[in-house]
Amino acid sequence: MSSMETDAKLRLIGVVEKSGREESRLRVFSEFCAGLKRIEHFSHIIVLYWAHKRDNPEERKVLLVYPKRHAEKTLMGVFACRSPSRPNPIGLCIVELVKVEGCTLTVKGLDAFENTPLIDIKPYIPRNDSIPDARVPNWTSRGPPT
Amino acid sequence: MSSMETDAKLRLIGVVEKSGREESRLRVFSEFCAGLKRIEHFSHIIVLYWAHKRDNPEERKVLLVYPKRHAEKTLMGVFACRSPSRPNPIGLCIVELVKVEGCTLTVKGLDAFENTPLIDIKPYIPRNDSIPDARVPNWTSRGPPT
């Protein structure tokens, strides 16, 4: 298998309609809206978005970064930090699901800009997804969470 | 913004070389290998893969499913479960990072088939990613975790 670009085609399933320090609003496009059925059974969701501002050849070539907003200068691979500059500018954020109204989700804790396209939403299931004692380097405990 | 297919082009950054009940092996393609620098500072990583067996027009139209391998018959939206049939067949799995050797990662707990393409790897940071008391419906506690 080669590393060439692939036929794998992303579809945009929605958009960050409003991004706030407290609450943000996600709008799922009407043709995908049925996919939200019973999502309110979950208190938290995993939001995958396309960091479109980083979708250019230069940013997608970046493989090493000094994680921003962290004082310590440790050069990290992009797969070892949450930099939005990476081969596929996919952002991942776990947020609290506050409210569901039709195709619109109100969430708390989103780190994406307004107008960012959404590519997937998944329920957060602690049995799979919560590892409270995972080991991390010290710098991850300072500055903003992502 | 429309929901049409987008210019957002995915690149395959690696492949699931071996998938085992205990350990699995991920190979990052050599041109992206520098992106792994210092990933061994983390005990767990988030693996994003392209569930290529579901990458066909029919599976990508699926918006409602009865989550497999769970006894209860509750119709769920694909964004409210972890079904690999969904508009973008992106799989997400949090795994223990056992060993790093060059461009190869040995991990524990991966739910992807052999030969599955990788699209991103991120470090797991409990401060962002661990929500032990997130609320879920009962059916998620039965059967295999994903």
Q: Is B37 on the interface with A (CB under 8 A)?
A: yes
- Is residue B54 predicted with pLDDT exceeding 70? yes
pLDDT tier at A47 (50, 70, 90 boundaries)?
very high
pTM of the model: 0.94
CA distances in angstroms from B25 to A101, B10, B34, B91, B141, listed in the order given: 42, 22, 18, 16, 27
Tell me the mean pLDDT in the region A8-23. Answer: 94
Chain B, window 56-115: residues with a beta carbon less than 8 angstroms from a chain A beta carbon: 60, 63-64, 74-82, 86-88, 90, 92-94, 115
Chain B positions in Cβ-Cβ contact with residue A131 (cut-off 8 Å): 44, 94, 124, 126, 129-130
Q: In whole angstroms, what separates CA B57 from the centre of its chain?
A: 20
Q: Does domain A11-51+89-125 have CATH number 1.10.20.10?
A: no
**pLDDT of the residue at A28:** 98
Label residue A62 exposed, middle or buried (CB < 10 Å: 0-12, 13-18, 19+): middle
Residue ranges per structural domain of chain B? 11-51+89-125, 56-88
Predicted-complex ipTM score? 0.94
